[in-house]
Structure formats: C-alpha cells, structure tokens
C-alpha cells in the first residue's frame, strides 16, 4: 500500500466537494502529475486541510490520468486529474488513528503541510495499525471487491 498526501485550503476543499457532490466520485486535480516512482495500483490519499489542520478523509485512486475537468477556479489545479470510486470519510477513521495522522501531517519538525502536489507519506511513520484499519474497513464494506473501501456516497461536508 502506498499512502500519499494532498493539500487543500478551505476554498479548494469546498470546490472539490462541490464536484464530488455532483459527480459522485473521488477526484483530485493537480498542477503536476503524480511521480513515476509510485505504483499504478491503488494509491491511498490522505486529504489534508491546511486551513483547519484536519485530515478530511482517505481517497483511493489509481495513477491513471483522466481527461481535464473543471474542479477548481484556478485552472492550474485542473491540469492532471485522478479519480477513484472509493473513499473513507474522516468520520469513519478511528479517533486514535486520525489524531496520530493529524499530528504527523500538521505538527512537529517533519510535518507535511508545505509539500506540493501529492507527496508520499513517510514509510517510517506508517504503522501496521493503519494498514490493518484500511484492510478491515475494506473487508467490512466491500466484500469480494478488487477495489478497496466503500463507494463514495455524498461527501457534502464542508469546512
């Protein structure tokens, strides 16, 4: 499993959610493509809201670039589009895991707030507990599915 991070502001989170509510898919628009060093298999995207210092959810995508669509007002962020049909909302992430991830993402010497595009969550910070949660969540919500995690329903919560 590869965990990546992406960053939102209050405004870009609202723009992304407007698109998700209309199209019922997990979507990310980037100014630069995801690095070639990452696999084409499922990528687990930790959604960071840098305005509120909160983990908003975990999206699951593949590295396939989709045709451009207008998600964000700033067209730079609509250059490379990645989609997925599976998502774990923050409300479904256990509080202990969410708090640990938020501390690593937003606080301390090695925080990830300043990254650009999608960056890899450091392997040294990953715990077996995180993998187990994702696997258990997948098994509970998508029996027999080759794609992990439950279908994105309406993710209308805005910050």
In the prediction, which pLDDT does 80 show? 97
* H helix intervals, the chain: 10-23, 95-106, 128-141
Q: What is the pTM of this model?
A: 0.85
Domain annotation covers residue 19: yes
Domain annotation covers residue 151: no
State the sign of the Cα–Cα–Cα–Cα dihedral 15, 155, 22, 65: positive
> What mean pLDDT value characterizes the chain?
85
What percent of the chain shows pLDDT beyond 90? Answer: 55
Q: Both tokens of residue 141? A: 């919500």
Q: What is the mean pLDDT of residues 94-100?
A: 95
CATH of the domain at 44: 3.10.590
In the prediction, which pLDDT does 142 show? 59
Domain annotation covers residue 146: no
Beta bridge partners, 63, equal none
Q: Both tokens of residue 131? A: 């993998």
Distance CA 46, CA 71 (A): 19
Backbone phi and psi for residue 31, each to the nearest 5 degrees, phi listed first: -85, -25
In the prediction, which pLDDT does 13 show? 96
Domain annotation covers residue 149: no
Distance CA 19, CA 24 (A): 8
Domain annotation covers residue 47: yes
- What would you report as the CA-atom Rg of the chain, rounded to the nearest whole angstrom? 15
Domain range for residue 129?
A: 2-141
Domain annotation covers residue 130: yes
Cβ–Cβ under 8 Å, residues 43 and 28: no
Cβ–Cβ under 8 Å, residues 29 and 81: yes
The model's confidence at residue 86, banded by pLDDT at 50, 70 and 90, is: confident
Q: Is the pLDDT of residue 96 over 90?
A: yes
Indicate the number of domains in the chain: 1
């Amino acid at each position: 499993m590869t965990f990546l991070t992406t960053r939102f502001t209050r405004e870009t989170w609202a723009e992304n959610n407007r698109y998700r509510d209309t199209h019922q898919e997990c979507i990310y628009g980037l100014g630069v493509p995801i690095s070639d060093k990452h696999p084409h298999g499922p990528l687990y995207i930790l959604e960071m809201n840098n305005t509120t210092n909160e983990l908003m959810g975990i999206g699951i995508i593949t590295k396939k670039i989709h045709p451009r669509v207008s998600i964000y007002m700033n067209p730079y962020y609509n250059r490379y589009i990645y989609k997925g049909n599976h998502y774990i909302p923050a409300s479904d992430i256990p509080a202990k895991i969410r708090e640990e991830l938020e501390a690593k993402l937003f606080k301390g010497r090695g925080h990830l707030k300043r990254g650009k595009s999608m960056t890899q969550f450091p392997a040294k910070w990953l715990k077996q507990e995180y993998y187990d949660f994702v696997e258990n969540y997948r098994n509970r919500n998508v029996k027999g599915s080759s794609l992990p995690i439950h279908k994105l329903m309406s993710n209308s919560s805005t910050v």
